[in-house]
Structure 1
Amino acid sequence: MRKVFTKLALTVLSLGSVSAWAQKNDLGAWYMYFGNNKIGKKLNWHNEIQYRNFDAVGDLEQLLIRTGVGYDLTENNNNVLLGYGFILSQPYVNGEKKENIEHRIFQQYITKQKFGRFNLQHRYRLEERFLESDFRMRFRYLLGLNIPITQKEMLPKSLYASVYNEIFLHFDSPVFDRNRVYGALGYVINKNMRIEAGYMNQIQENRNRGQIQIGFYNNIPFTKN
């Protein structure tokens, strides 16, 4: 286990070194917590916090808090969820930092597939975005893949690789909003917790931005059912 944490630490340190070298090239960092906790035989509570920075260690770009309740249509799969998000953004406008608040309602459907060592996830999400002076709707599709490295399955104390691609589309013009491509190294702590450290590149119409990402995933059930 010590070797595993050493590898993850080296990954984080190397990402930090890249950040220090490339901050002028528009590289930021996201620190994320994701909770997906059973509250019934088929019900789950989703909760997450994302602290997004313009650089590696400070200068807040966005604080995102999201929660929701989901229902499994089949055993531990095909989950439909209704949720709410609070988003505080602090963008720079003409060199001056501004503050915007968004309230977001979203509906999503997640289905999982397994092909040998390949663990696929499809996530379809519809968002109703209540901005301070606007209302917009957006569709998102994420295709994710987790592949165990040190074991045949994603078992406790195993390393895995994680990749995803997610596209964002507006319901009005311009239709294309952004696309995210992600790659990471992860470690399964136990059957309910894992951590990941990786890099995400976000492409928008007039901008291409990289993000270091460190995420912690907590699936501890709140019920014995």
Structure 2
Amino acid sequence: MKILKTLALSIFTLGTTLSYAQKSDLGAWYMYFGNNKISKKLNWHNEIQYRNFDAGGDLEQLLIRTGIGYDLTENNNNILLGYGFILSKPYVNGEKTENIEHRIFQQYITKQKFGRFNIQHRYRLEERFLEDDFRMRFRYLLGFNIPINNKEMLPKTFYGSVYNEIFLHFDSPVFDRNRVYGALGYVINKNMRIEAGYMNQIQENKNRGQIQIGFYNNIPFTKN
């Protein structure tokens, strides 16, 4: 509990510091990810991301995703069909605007382990229904979780997390964006962990930094 209190205090301090960064190009994303077993082979993915231009008061995007996945092999090689609702509030010529996107996506995740390195490959295809447009996009993520004070991702383990994700359009221009992420995480128990880190995104030849705080919940809804 002492470790959790220290981590919570660090996150609160980080958020307070960010509150003075509104005029900078540093944003903050607060994220929840659920991946819950509903049968031996099926899982329910549920996700909420609250993305801000600053620490908390200037909403950039609200993203809600859900889907049903199927394990081709036990706890690995998962295919998933999902839906996303995205509310965006960008600035256009200095004025706050609003648009809504509905998104269907299909993804395949496979995992590998080499020593302490827990590796994940995620391939995702998106069909994006915008208010006045339709687009398709492919995403590939390569991620690593590396335990620090234990050899495995056991409860009470601190770990480092890094990933790179590239986004590609099906039309011109092909390149959409690239994200590079690094974080420190803590395994609370076998079904919950928390991360706090930094992501840099390159889009339209512009770099934008994001502080990210994420909570992961894998509590199963079945005893099997």
Q: Deviations over 1:177-222 (max 9, x none)?
A: 0000101111101000000011111101232111110000000000
* Equivalent residue number for residue 172 of structure 2: 173
Distance in structure 1 (CA, Å) of the matches to 2:34 and 2:46: 5
TM-score (norm 1): 0.95
Question: Cα–Cα, structure 1 residues 16 and 163, in superposed 2: closer, same or farther, change >3 Å?
Answer: farther
Map of 1:61 onto structure 2: 60
TM value normalised by structure 2? 0.96
Which residue does 1:98 correspond to in 2?
97
Number of equivalenced pairs: 224
- Hey, what's the Cα distance between the residues in 2 that align with 1:113 and 1:12? 34
Whole-Å separation in 2 of the counterparts to 1:14 and 1:86: 28
Q: Do 1:138 and 1:169's aligned partners in 2 also have CA atoms closer than 8 Å?
A: yes
Measured on the aligned residues, the alpha-carbon RMSD in Å equals: 1.4
Deviation at 1:10, TM superposition (A): 2.7
Equivalent residue number for residue 190 of structure 1 = 189
Contact 1:8 1:197 in 2 (8 A): no
Could you tell me which residue of structure 1 aligns to residue 3 of structure 2?
A: 3
Matches within 5 A, 1:43-122: 43-122=42-121
Partner Cα distance (2:15, 2:200) in 1 = 13
Q: 2:62, 2:15 → 1: CA distance?
A: 21
1:42 alignment partner in structure 2? 41
Letter in 2 for 1:151: N
- Structure 1 residues 58 and 15, CA gap change in structure 2 (3 angstroms): closer
User: How far apart in 2 are the matches of 1:48 and 1:203?
Assistant: 23
Indicate yes or no: 2:140 matched with 1:141. yes
Aligned-residue offset at 1:58: 1.3
Q: Which runs of 5+ in 1 are unaligned?
A: none
State the percentage of identical aligned residues.
85
Corresponding letter in the other structure for 2:123:
Y
**1:3, distance to aligned residue in structure 2 (A):** 3.5
CA distance in 2: counterparts of 1:86 and 1:11, whole angstroms:
27
User: 1:211 is aligned with what amino acid?
Assistant: Q
Question: Mind listing any 5+ residue stretches in structure 2 that lack a counterpart?
Answer: none
CA distance in 2, matches of 1:114, 1:8: 30
What secondary structure sits across from 1:6 in the alignment? Answer: helix
> Within 2, Cα distance between the matches of 1:40 and 1:156?
24
**Aligned mates of 2:130, 2:180 — CA distance in 1:** 26
For the residue of structure 2 that corresponds to 1:13, the secondary structure is helix
Distance 1:153 1:77 in 2: 17
Deviation per CA, 1:3-47, whole angstroms, max 9, x where unpaired? 354156336524653x35644331000000000000010100000
1:57 deviates by: 1.7
